[in-house]
Amino acid sequence: MDTIYLDYNCFQRSFDDASQIRIRMEALACQEVFRRAEIKRVRLVWSFMHQDETLMCPFPERKIEALRLALLCQERVGPSDEIYHLAKSFQLQANLLAKDALHLACAVQSKSKLFLTCDGRLIKQARRLSLPLRVMNPIEYIGLESEVNSGTDANVE
């Protein structure tokens, strides 16, 4: 079972402008990741950063939805000196924003296999780092999983 750390934008994507095809596809991909968590096909991580961003969210319906989705996360990550130092090194190496660096450090600390984000800039910056996990867009993840599963299904028949 894959352990996945979702960037906070994945918890909020369903509220974004669905008239844009890319956003609609990302929202569907995120929804599929949450569905897989519900049926225990993936393991999701919720960190202190998710909690902070949720508490700072000025929109009640978004806050409620993020907290509902947090219930699907089987693992929790709290703040630590190790996460802080790792995040600082990510900032220096890849010019990451503090929030992005902290989310990545939490993903590494949780030993996640994947870090999913809808932020193309973050994907490019994170790929400059030597990380023990893969960083990708949720659409890319769902596409890869579909390829793997269709390959498996073909072998079964």
b/e 50-73 (16+ beta carbons within 10 angstroms → b)? bbebbeebeeeeebebbbebeebb
126 band by pLDDT with thresholds 50, 70 and 90? very high
Instruction: Note the pLDDT tens digit of each residue in 9-44.
Output: 999 999 988 899 999 999 999 999 999 999 999 999
Q: What is the pLDDT of residue 51?
A: 97
Q: What is the CATH number of the domain that holds 66?
A: 3.40.50.1010
| Domain tally, the chain | 1
Question: Domain containing 92: what range?
Answer: 2-156
